[in-house]
Structure 1
């Protein structure tokens, strides 16, 4: 391997005579920096690279990440919806669905007459808790999907990014108000473009070939969800939030029927519908624009709105 400065990424050995300049490791950035330029350079020049800052091999291309997340040779750290969730398959119970709808309504109407409110503090952080019957933010791993449902922080961040994407353009607001059936598509598009979890970790039980080389047996593998979701080889205009996108493909949740996956989508649907219903003129507070932060997880830390318009 080439020599690299401390914290630099270390590319796999190659026979090429010309090699791209080394890149800084994931954790060398600040949480305020936008990671997507680094992700672009990784996809193009370093599809498999070792990052000493986290002690893991990085995968950044959609095809590699999507395959790794379902590869039985890459074990541990399963997402809600993966095969490991099979023991708690099934639909979200009707009683829990009603709690989500009722909690959304109550939270929205609490802030509807305010001059200004923060949707992260006053909505996103309370709606997932409400789905667990108000047990609190440190709720035990109980319910139809066990620990998957109890992963509150992921759903909180996903909701914050979802609201940020929807409310950031008047055409999106108008489209979703007039056609509520588009909310599910908007939710999937937000998970693709702005996933709450940027990095999902796996461990290679044996050597695994990927597009950039071979992952050694026993190695830790960091699947860069954030990079894969904006891969231009998989998505048309990947940086664009597109309600009509036909090439959807989010990686935050797995493809299985774990109730936690449905629950998150229900929170997005009922949450946005409740906000729209309680606040016909909902818009950003004067001078505010949402800004996401974070290196391993990422979402806006505040969403300041004027509920009364």
Structure 2
């Protein structure tokens, strides 16, 4: 009798995160990376890819992973250093200068009415219509309009800010280094700074009850924000704050419409809106990857990252790690391994807002915007369906979400007059 040795099935080749196949659907590639290449050097981006939850979580929490790489990533378009690339006491002070406006009483009393008004105005524009394009008519404009109004800027400049926002976001998503896209982003950043500088001088002399005035007058430990601090922060707020909420609203409604039973549950019980948002951040994070740079050699799953290297933390892969989440590819607003109460804090189970000292300062603003927008849409329309009968695809590599979301709308019955 002859015994034949069985050969182990070789692993699939490492996926290319710049390939068309990855752009069409990154999640199969993420599974391959987690299973076989938890640490993988990617030639196209010149970076080490991390895909497992525990490794990405560590990269966000462990101080050995720095944001020094943001110097070449962020400074060109933001026009200087931002709080995202600072560390230690400098970061703590700058964060303390800007954070109060994005949480607690300041957010509820000063800016929630701004959020509610902007959502209502955009939704009113497509009331009475059977169809609406949620991305173009609502999701991309809502957070940008809110930021403009929070800053106390001219509301007639909403469209101008929307154009700057799209160009700056395009700059960061430009992994293939298209020179035209890079130039458009740099030009938008320069135009935004030129717009803001005379207004900063004005608000320093005559502060008002708006966010820009607060940034001009805030003081912590004897430190106040310079003009460059303010213009860089506003640029960061416009790009990061707008992009998260833009993609989150569209992605959440795409996920809910693709799961009609869960949409019905959220419509019936609006306390589930935060859970639906948190699950969308886990399942379909708007920001799919963030880069870090280790200050020294670091051991992770699969090997050693050399000091000074660029590390691409694949949030979209980590958030679907099967060792951390049950049935991770399923969208489930009722899942028990994602705690909604912590989902918008530095103790979150998902990684969409990063973690640790660089946890997204605008997470609660995004939560307020998504809750207000979702509730107003559900109140305005008794039924919301995919206009084409199916979910449109998501697009994007660095940031990801539906490019369009055409909806069929059935208006809610008017409330009876008393």
TM-score bucket of the superposed structures, by smaller chain: 0.7 to 0.9
Match of 2:48 among 50, 57, 64: 57
Alignment-derived partner of residue 251 in structure 1? 351
Mapped to 2, the partners of 1:147 and 1:261 lie a distance apart of 17
- Show the 5 A alignment for 1:114-153: 114-132=129-147, 133=149, 134=155, 135=158, 136-137=161-162, 138=164, 143=212, 146-151=234-239, 152-153=242-243
CA change 1:258–1:24 in 2 (3 A) is closer
Mapped to 2, the partners of 1:72 and 1:32 lie a distance apart of 31
Give the SS at the match of 1:307. Answer: strand
Mapped to 1, the partners of 2:136 and 2:372 lie a distance apart of 18
Alignment-derived partner of residue 171 in structure 1? 261
Give the SS at the match of 1:26. Answer: coil
Alignment-derived partner of residue 280 in structure 2? 190
**More helix by percentage:** 2
Give the SS at the match of 2:316. Answer: helix
Alignment-derived partner of residue 6 in structure 1? none
Alignment-derived partner of residue 9 in structure 1? none
* 2:104 counterpart of 1:86: no
Alignment-derived partner of residue 11 in structure 1? none
CA change 1:185–1:148 in 2 (3 A) is farther
The unaligned stretches of length 5 or more in structure 1 are 1-16
The unaligned stretches of length 5 or more in structure 2 are 1-7, 71-82, 150-154, 166-191, 194-210, 216-232, 339-348, 412-418
TM-score by structure 2 length? 0.65
Mapped to 2, the partners of 1:223 and 1:29 lie a distance apart of 20
CA change 1:230–1:304 in 2 (3 A) is same
| Equivalenced residues, count | 292
Q: CA deviation at 1:112?
A: 2.3
1:104 and 1:127 in contact (8 A); partners too? yes
Give the SS at the match of 1:122. Answer: helix
Q: CA deviation at 1:308?
A: 2.1
Match of 1:42 among 33, 48, 55: 33
CA change 1:195–1:201 in 2 (3 A) is same
Match of 1:299 among 401, 405, 416: 401
How large is the RMSD of aligned CA atoms in angstroms?
Answer: 2.6
Mapped to 1, the partners of 2:252 and 2:328 lie a distance apart of 16
Give the SS at the match of 2:383. Answer: coil
Alignment-derived partner of residue 265 in structure 1? 367
Mapped to 1, the partners of 2:309 and 2:361 lie a distance apart of 31
Q: Deviations over 1:38-69 (max 9, x none)?
A: 10010001100100010000000001001101
Alignment-derived partner of residue 299 in structure 2? 209
* 2:127 counterpart of 1:112: yes
Mapped to 1, the partners of 2:266 and 2:138 lie a distance apart of 19
User: Which stretch shifts more, 176-185 or 288-297?
Assistant: 288-297
1:79 and 1:254 in contact (8 A); partners too? no
* 2:66 counterpart of 1:75: yes
Q: CA deviation at 1:258?
A: 5.5
Higher relative contact order (CA 8 A, sep 6+): 1
2:392 and 2:405 in contact (8 A); partners too? yes
User: Which stretch shifts more, 46-55 or 23-32?
Assistant: 23-32
Runs of 4+ in 1 over 4 A off after TM superposition: 77-80, 82-85, 139-148, 255-259
Q: CA deviation at 1:113?
A: 1.3
2:289 and 2:399 in contact (8 A); partners too? yes
CA change 1:43–1:79 in 2 (3 A) is farther
Q: CA deviation at 1:233?
A: 0.2
Higher Cα radius of gyration? 2
2:15 and 2:32 in contact (8 A); partners too? no
Q: Deviations over 1:145-181 (max 9, x none)?
A: 7555322223211221112112222212211111111
